[in-house]
Amino acid sequence: MQTLTVDLGDRSYPIHIGAGLLNQAELILPHLAQKRVMIVTNTTVAPLYLARLTATLEAGGVAATQVILPDGEAYKNWETLNLIFDALLTQRAERKTTLIALGGGVIGDMAGFAAASYQRGVPFIQIPTTLLSQVDSSVGGKTGINHPLGKNMIGAFYQPKVVLADTDTLKTLPARELSAGLAEVIKYGLIWDVEFLSWLEANMDKLRALDPVAITHAIHRSCEIKAQVVGQDEREGGIRAILNLGHTFGHAIETGMGYGNWLHGEAVAAGMVMAAETSRRLGWLSDADVARTRALIRAAGLPDVAPDLGVDTWLEYMGHDKKVEGGKMRFVLLKKLGVAVITGDVPADVLTGVLTAPH
């Protein structure tokens, strides 16, 4: 097991990464304000891990109830969130009752927002069971739901008490979702650490085969980079935006194709190629840099070409992104591999060039 501390003053918390963590009550018990929890999970994860987590907690003397939500981004909405509130209120959960998110990013986002909002805030623990959520949702405190007019438009910044990233849970993850998680891992290399990028190029096969040493290192390094960035900018006023590399394009892909048809990581992967391509057209990346980015993304089993939405649709869906400021669109691009930059200065013809029949 490796442990990383996310340093946020009095809201600091540990992330434990390793195999078999679901069996270790001692990682959870010190963080409970009351020996009472409600586990939020979904219909896919519940049959796999709910009994094990419940048994671990009950062996530790904790009363654990549960709410099982339908699975998928399409359910990341108010109606599903309200199922959590209904369960909390029906069970008369109190201010010290801890919510535990057991599942992927959608479960973490919804359980986290429910924890932030129920009685204006109850304690929250995250047990991410997908690679994407282990390397993304574990750090940063972003929670929320979608609105018909935009993704993640309603939510809160809310930090967990502890995160358990049990790498055993990745064994049941579909290959496509493993790849989607690798998109975010690649992102950390692209924006922050070209050595990590090289390491990923050398170890991609091991990662896709879930080699325990490789996957633990990849998760640890990813969380470490994200924690460094978030530690400098908890509420996303500045540098934190570099974590959105590929996301402005990616959100447009997700919206344009309908939530859930492209996985978030797949959309981000194709979006990162578009960001790299934009950076190349601005003279910052070489042809070889873009080719290297594409090759790594393909090696991870990810798409490197976005769907052709048409320029107007691209612009419309990109305009709703949270990185719009003063009516001007801002982009996360690459000054070079391993160095991200935030800029509002992308000439219209460069942008149009990238958006016209992406390839």
Cβ-in-10-Å burial (0-12, 13-18, 19+) of 260 comes to middle
User: Which of 57, 62, 128, 142 forms a contact with a copy of itself (CB under 8 A)?
Assistant: 142
Whether 72 has a binding-site annotation, put simply, is yes
Whether 76 has a binding-site annotation, put simply, is yes
Cβ-in-10-Å burial (0-12, 13-18, 19+) of 327 comes to exposed
92 versus 359: smaller Cβ distance to a copy of itself: 92
- Identify whether the C-beta of residue 53 lies closer than 8 Å to the C-beta of residue 80: no
Give least dist CB 34 to a copy of itself, A.
7
155 versus 181: smaller Cβ distance to a copy of itself: 155
- Tell me the C-alpha distance between 38 and 97, whole Å: 7
Q: Which two tokens stand for residue 353?
A: 């060039």
Question: By three-state DSSP, how is residue 42 classified?
Answer: strand
Stretch that binds a copy of itself, among 18-26, 63-71, 138-146, 346-354 (CB under 8 A): 138-146
Radius of gyration, alpha carbons of the chain? 20
Residue 7 identity (one-letter amino acid): D
- Tell me the C-alpha distance between 319 and 1, whole Å: 42
41 versus 146: smaller Cβ distance to a copy of itself: 146
Other C-beta atoms closer than 10 Å to the C-beta of 49 total 21
Give least dist CB 121 to a copy of itself, A.
7
Question: By three-state DSSP, how is residue 154 classified?
Answer: strand
283 versus 327: smaller Cβ distance to a copy of itself: 327
Give least dist CB 58 to a copy of itself, A.
19
According to the binding rule CB under 8 A, does residue 238 interact with a copy of itself?
no
Pick from 48, 84, 52, 49: nearest CA to 66 = 84
With b meaning 16 or more CB within 10 Å and e meaning fewer, what string describes 223-249? bbbbbbbbeeebebeeebbbbbbbbbb
According to the binding rule CB under 8 A, does residue 144 interact with a copy of itself?
yes
Catalytic residues: 120, 142, 184, 226, 236, 240, 244, 247, 251, 264
Stretch that binds a copy of itself, among 54-62, 79-87, 248-256, 258-266 (CB under 8 A): 79-87
Site for a copy of itself in 88-117 (CB under 8 A): 89-90, 92, 94-96, 116-117
User: Which of 118, 188, 192, 196 forms a contact with a copy of itself (CB under 8 A)?
Assistant: 118
User: Which of 228, 320, 329, 343 forms a contact with a copy of itself (CB under 8 A)?
Assistant: 320
Q: Which two tokens stand for residue 321?
A: 């992104």
- Tell me the C-alpha distance between 134 and 152, whole Å: 18
Question: By three-state DSSP, how is residue 28 classified?
Answer: coil
**Strand runs labelled E in 294-345:** 331-336, 339-343
User: Which of 43, 119, 286, 356 forms a contact with a copy of itself (CB under 8 A)?
Assistant: 119
Cα atoms in the 13 Å half-sphere on the side-chain side of 123: 20
According to the binding rule CB under 8 A, does residue 63 interact with a copy of itself?
no
Structure letter (DSSP) for residue 234: T
Number of residues that bind a copy of itself (CB under 8 A): 37
Whether 142 has a binding-site annotation, put simply, is yes
Pick from 29, 53, 33, 186: nearest CA to 107 = 53
According to the binding rule CB under 8 A, does residue 34 interact with a copy of itself?
yes
19 versus 324: smaller Cβ distance to a copy of itself: 324
According to the binding rule CB under 8 A, does residue 154 interact with a copy of itself?
yes
Specify binding-site residues.
71-76, 105-109, 129-130, 142, 151, 169-172, 184, 247, 264
Binding site for a copy of itself (CB under 8 A): 34, 78, 82, 85-86, 89-90, 92, 94-96, 116-121, 142-144, 147, 149-150, 153-157, 235-236, 319-320, 322, 324-327
Specify binding-site residues for NAD(+).
71-76, 105-109, 129-130, 142, 151, 169-172
Specify binding-site residues for Zn(2+).
184, 247, 264
